[in-house]
Homo-oligomer: A and B are copies of this chain.
Amino acid sequence: MSSTPTTKERIVIASAELFRRQGYTGTGVKQIVAAAQAPFGSLYHHFPGGKEQLGEQVIRIAGGMYGELVSAVFDPAPDVVTGTEQVFTLAAQHLAESDYADACPIATIALEIASSSEPMRIATAEVFEGWLEKLASRFTAAGIDPATARTLALTTLSLLEGAFVLCRAARTTEALLAAGTQAAAAVRAALPEA
């Protein structure tokens, strides 16, 4: 299985962790290969497009993994309302436990490169869109009409991403907890009569 990660995998994993904490421009390729315990040349062997191609891959892979993680929290919940709240509660817990470092794996990169790298910008847009569709499908499965489900997905993800910004700055979980309460309430209000 994943007992012996390949050099390429180690580079991607190390990049994902560093990008999440320091951002894309704030992380050097030397730092990446050092953290991945990989030789310098391997990076350009596996990613001929250099740092930008690596960044794009990291966005897609880390974004996909985070989507799975959210699903793993959301799906076992008894209903969509508590599922929604659980996502925010656990995100707050994980953020605090990581000393306010581990929030969204791609938000920092997304803001940094939105106006300077189209390949990476498109990657962030597609990852976000995937999350939105996943969220919306959970809401429609609970009987909410598609248009409302789309709006709810947008506001839920906006609340999560925005609260991450405030919480990392303040080193508090206050915003995430308030956001989770409002997100859950909005989902409850959109639910059809029982």
Contact = CB atoms under 8 A, between A and B. Distances in A.
Nearest to A165: B161
Contact of A186 (B101, B121, B168, B182): B182
Nearest to A103: B111
A159 B178 CA distance: 11
A121 to B, nearest CB: 6
Given A111-B111, A162-B162, A179-B158, A121 B26 contact: no
A115 interface: yes
Contact of A175 (B103, B114, B158): B158
B128 A115 contact: no
Interface string A135-176: 000000000000000010011011111111110111100110
A26 B116 contact: yes
Given A21-B115, A100-B114, A115-B101, A178 B158 contact: yes
Contact of A169 (B25, B121, B174): B121
A7 B114 CA distance: 29
B171 A162 contact: no
Nearest to A163: B158
Contacts of A100: 114-115
- The list of the 5 closest CB pairs from A to B, nearest first, reads A162-B162, A158-B162, A161-B162, A25-B26, A114-B168
Interface of A: 21-23, 25-26, 99-101, 103, 107-108, 110-112, 114-116, 121, 124-125, 128-129, 151, 154-155, 157-166, 168-171, 174-175, 178-179, 181-182, 186
Given A155-B178, A158-B158, 13 more contacts: A22-B25, A23-B23, A108-B108, A110-B165, A125-B170, A128-B166, A157-B175, A158-B166, A158-B175, A158-B179, A161-B165, A162-B163, A182-B186
5 contacts: A26-B116, A99-B115, A114-B169, A159-B162, A161-B161
